Amino acid sequence: MNDKNALLFNADWKFLLGDPKNAYRENYPDRTWRRVDLPHDWVISQPFKRGDEGSYTSQNMQGFFAWEGIAWYRKEFVLPDLSGKEAYIYFGGAYRNSTVYINGKEAGGRAYGYASFELNITGLVRPGENCIAVRLDNGKEAPDRWYSGSGLYRNVYLRIVPAVHIKTWGVCIKTKIIRPAGHGSAGEITAAVTLVNRGGPVKGRVYVQIRDNGNKTVVETSKPFTVAGAGEDIVQQRMVIQKPLLWSAEEPNLYRALVYLEDNEGNKTGKEVEVPFGIRNIEIAAHRGMRVNGKPVKLKGVSLHHDCGISGSAFYEAAWRRRLLTLKSIGCNAIRTSHNPPAEELLDLCDELGFYVIDECFDKWKSGYYGDHFDKDWQKDLEGFILRDRNHPSVFMWSAGNEVENQGSEDMLKILKTLVAFIHALDDRPVTCALEPHVHPRSLVGAPLPQLIELTKKLAEEVDVLGLNYHEALYDDYSAAIDKPIVGTESYEYYSGTASNYEDVTTKNPWLFVLENNNVIGQFIWAGIDYLGESTWPTKGWAGAIIDICGFLKPNAWYRKSIWSDEPMIYLALYDTSRKSAYVRGRWSFPKVASHLNFDHFRHETVTAVVFTNCDEAELWINGKKFGRRKPGDFENGIIEWTFEYAPGEMKIIGYRDGNVACSQTLKTAGAPRRILLQPDKKVLAAGGTDIVHVELTITDDKGIPCPNEEALVEFALSGDGSILGSCSPDISGALGYTLPKTLTSGGKALVIVRPGEGTGTLDLAAYSGTLIPAFLKLKVI
């Protein structure tokens, strides 16, 4: 939250799983409740519960966690005299069916667990001690189709403001390039500031100051206002920046608008509201594609669910920064927030790091969990979603839903038209809706092409961009018949469906359809990162993404880098159909390959290696012997293959560009497992309980070569003011869960997350496993 009047309200809550009578009362005895700091997801620490088998049961959708239950959170806090001020409590998300009580009285709540919302609690608080209690009901309806978690899983803020103040989400920044890039370039900024007055008539001035990334003020202005008692007013101001630095995913230049109020005597009232924004021009047009600041762009996107493995649904900025940087490293430039409003801090990261975002508000409308609430709540949930996220330059498109029921029916089209018109009234970005394949009803499977086109035409009339899930083979036909740009809102990672049936796959990679058609602006593969839920026992989640649950790159991520990134790269692996892998439905899978040289079962057998590269040529060496050069353009999907007799030792692959060595990779056979290696993503942490560090664990031989087949039980110990948030391995089928200080390695690797406490000093982490040499790591907390 960018309002400097807001205080982070995450520390020192008390938690109970259960529904005791009178827990809302301020004098309720909660001394035995568990102390927690937010963000907190209570489901991630629950035991596994197998439940009924089936494709879409409650248990497999929730990763087989014991997910049902009512939970309470309570917190005591002290306030000064608030005469002449207003008090609000702000929830980034409260999953789900929340009811908030202040000093024993109901203040409000929200059914939709992904919605951010704010409650005015001025009339319920008092000087001195106060108590807030929050009840969450996670068993009232069926669960989501993916792991949702439950709890106060995002940040909570207490906001104290003067009687006249800037409304939450009340600053709207619009930008326009009024002169193109060049010597005389200029950007226009319009700031619309919504003021709220809870007292008598007031006059004053609204100040808007624009600062660049170096904190230098580049332009500022002010304008008088008059707000009647208990009313609202919108003050608009226009500014021009000369020679602005433009925002794009490739160059994410940001500015900040600092907005504050002064009274008629020139006294500042309250603190600033700070709104990061970017100046950019995005054009999307049928048959011309997408252009950002005049340059053509193809979306190299991934769909992401909101859980983060070890931390469940609890949002940690450091966890998502690590994940987004990993995606950025392979050439990814776009994110689809599947299928719900994300944490607003995720969008802050996308603004900063450079991603184009399709911001999606709903999954299905009148079926599933939200079906019981749609008619009553869609307007307030959708309005809050748009107002909250409209200033993010990363957000270039809204999505009104995903694979909604009864596509093409009159009722469905009426709802879609209503939602799109509602969004357009609030913001001018284009709107899409992710449409499912033509398999519902099943009579559409194998239906004549004209019938499919007529159905899709009706759907396309109501949106600005036609969002299609798994329709790649129909892109050319739709482009010829329908005058709307297309985006692949979901695509398989490796295979593609046929024109008549998305379940009948071919080996043509979906990215090739994007490159071949100027009307298609990009794709979002399913999925970017393995997630919990939507699984079959004993797997606890979806394992068909390009990055595993620990955040480690899989072989298919390296293939993705070879087709998405310009940075010279080369990657060598061997086909291994015997390799154990977690559940993923076949057409979302990737050929089984592994990048190491410890295949004892291959001795003296013929094997096939694969090479992923964006270089002109690849040269293979095996145990000092040259095997020649090959070009990716000579192979299907650009994947080079080499067949030879397997032998342990050393393999080296060299990438050439323009005849020169551009990159290389070497594989060596590892010896017996000998030691544990710990590698943190940082060694200096911030005190206060909001930071975390990811520590990657690798089992190696005496020479430091990773042991790729090692499965060992590793236990962790931590000393100092901090805690082990949890640990896991890349194997999403693990039986130990995610919150224990021990895990079974998979492929010789694992991850542990450490969270510092309130104090400064050092944290000492140790990792032990049987006869292996243990590892020790010292972390600094400031």
b/e code 209-241 from CB counts within 10 Å (16+ = b): bbbbeeeeebbeebeebebeeeeebebebebeb
What are the residues facing 187 on neighbouring strands?
Answer: 177, 241
Sheet harboring 156-162: ordered strands across?
Answer: 6-8, 156-162, 85-91, 117-120
pLDDT of residue 29: 96
pLDDT of residue 3: 85
Distance CA 46, CA 737 (A): 8
What are the residues facing 88 on neighbouring strands?
Answer: 120, 159
Count CB atoms within 10 A of the CB of residue 54. Answer: 11
pLDDT of residue 183: 65
pLDDT digits (tens, 9 = 90+) for 679-704: 999 999 999 889 999 999 999 999 99
289: enclosing H helix or E strand = strand 289-292
pLDDT digits (tens, 9 = 90+) for 295-328: 999 999 999 999 999 999 999 999 999 999 999 9
Distance CA 236, CA 238 (A): 7
Q: Which long-range contacts (CB under 8 A, 24 or more apart) does 499-506 make?
A: 499/449, 499/473, 499/474, 500/445, 500/446, 500/447, 501/439, 501/445, 501/446, 502/437, 502/438, 502/439, 502/470, 502/471, 503/437, 503/439, 503/445, 503/587, 505/587, 506/473
Distance CA 88, CA 161 (A): 8
* Tokens 């960018």 -> residue: 2
Say if residue 632 is preceded by a cis peptide, omega within 30 of 0: no
Distance CA 339, CA 368 (A): 12
Q: What is the mean pLDDT of residues 720-728?
A: 96
Q: Is the pLDDT of residue 241 over 90?
A: yes
Q: Give the pLDDT band (50/70/90) at residue 586.
A: confident
Q: Is the pLDDT of residue 55 over 80?
A: no
What percentage of the chain carries pLDDT values higher than 90?
A: 87
* Burial grade of 623 (CB within 10 A; 0-12, 13-18, 19 or more): exposed
End-to-end CA distance of the chain: 23
Distance CA 297, CA 515 (A): 11
Instruction: Using alpha carbons, list the distances in angstroms from residue 133 to 38, 76, 411.
Output: 14, 9, 40
Distance CA 743, CA 696 (A): 12
Phi, psi (degrees; rounded to nearest 5) at 68: -80, 145
Q: Is the pLDDT of residue 2 over 70?
A: yes
Instruction: Using alpha carbons, list the distances in angstroms from residue 283 to 51, 280, 396.
Output: 49, 10, 10
Specify the 3-state DSSP secondary structure of 361: coil
14: enclosing H helix or E strand = strand 13-17
- Give DSSP secondary structure letters for 561-620: HHHH--S--EEEEEE-TT-------GGG----EE-SS--GGGTTSEEEEEEEESSSEEEE
pLDDT of residue 180: 72
Amino acid making up residue 414: K
Strands (E), 103-150: 105-110, 117-120, 128-137
Q: What is the mean pLDDT of residues 604-608?
A: 94
Q: What is the mean pLDDT of residues 159-186?
A: 90
b/e code 448-458 from CB counts within 10 Å (16+ = b): eeeebbebbbe
pLDDT of residue 182: 63
Amino acid making up residue 347: L
pLDDT of residue 174: 97
pLDDT digits (tens, 9 = 90+) for 460-485: 999 999 999 999 999 999 999 999 99
What percentage of the chain carries pLDDT values higher than 70?
A: 98
Closest by CA to 282, choosing from 453, 522, 88, is: 522
Q: What is the mean pLDDT of residues 233-239?
A: 96
Distance CA 378, CA 57 (A): 26
Specify the 3-state DSSP secondary structure of 323: helix
Count CB atoms within 10 A of the CB of residue 34. Answer: 12
Distance CA 470, CA 490 (A): 6
pLDDT of residue 747: 95
Specify the 3-state DSSP secondary structure of 430: coil
Q: What's the alpha-carbon Rg for the chain, to the nearest Å? A: 27
pLDDT of residue 579: 72
pLDDT of residue 712: 96
Q: What is the mean pLDDT of residues 9-33?
A: 97
List the structure tokens of 236.
Answer: 């608009």
pLDDT of residue 578: 80
Residue 727: CA count within 13 A, CB half-sphere: 26
**Strand pairing category for 299-304 and 334-337:** parallel
pLDDT of residue 155: 97
- Give DSSP secondary structure letters for 155-211: -EEEEEEESEEEEEEEEEEEEEEEE-SSTT-EEEEEEEEEEEESSS-EEEEEEEEEE
Q: Give the pLDDT band (50/70/90) at residue 498.
A: confident
Max Cα distance, the chain (Å):
89
- Give DSSP secondary structure letters for 84-116: TEEEEEEES--BSSEEEEETTEEEEEES-TT--
Instruction: Using alpha carbons, list the distances in angstroms from residue 270 to 6, 262, 267, 773.
Output: 11, 9, 10, 57
Distance CA 91, CA 365 (A): 23
Specify the 3-state DSSP secondary structure of 762: strand
pLDDT of residue 56: 63
Q: What is the mean pLDDT of residues 526-542?
A: 93
Q: Is the dihedral of CA 443, 449, 453, 454 positive or negative?
A: negative
Q: How many residues does the chain have?
A: 782
Higher pLDDT, 441 or 631: 631
Closest by CA to 58, choosing from 142, 171, 180, 114, is: 142
Q: Give the pLDDT band (50/70/90) at residue 54.
A: low
pLDDT of residue 583: 60
List the structure tokens of 483.
Answer: 């005058």
Q: Give the pLDDT band (50/70/90) at residue 440.
A: low
Q: Is the pLDDT of residue 379 over 80?
A: yes
Q: Is the pLDDT of residue 184 over 90?
A: no
Phi, psi (degrees; rounded to nearest 5) at 638: 70, 15
Phi, psi (degrees; rounded to nearest 5) at 365: -95, -60
pLDDT digits (tens, 9 = 90+) for 76-99: 999 999 999 999 999 999 999 999
Distance CA 611, CA 653 (A): 8
418: alpha, beta or left? (left if phi > 0; alpha if psi -120 to 50): alpha
* Tokens 């310009």 -> residue: 566
Q: What is the mean pLDDT of residues 720-744?
A: 95
Say if residue 339 is preceded by a cis peptide, omega within 30 of 0: yes
pLDDT digits (tens, 9 = 90+) for 252-289: 999 999 999 999 889 999 899 999 999 999 999 999 99
Amino acid making up residue 340: N
pLDDT of residue 179: 79
Q: Is the pLDDT of residue 228 over 60?
A: yes
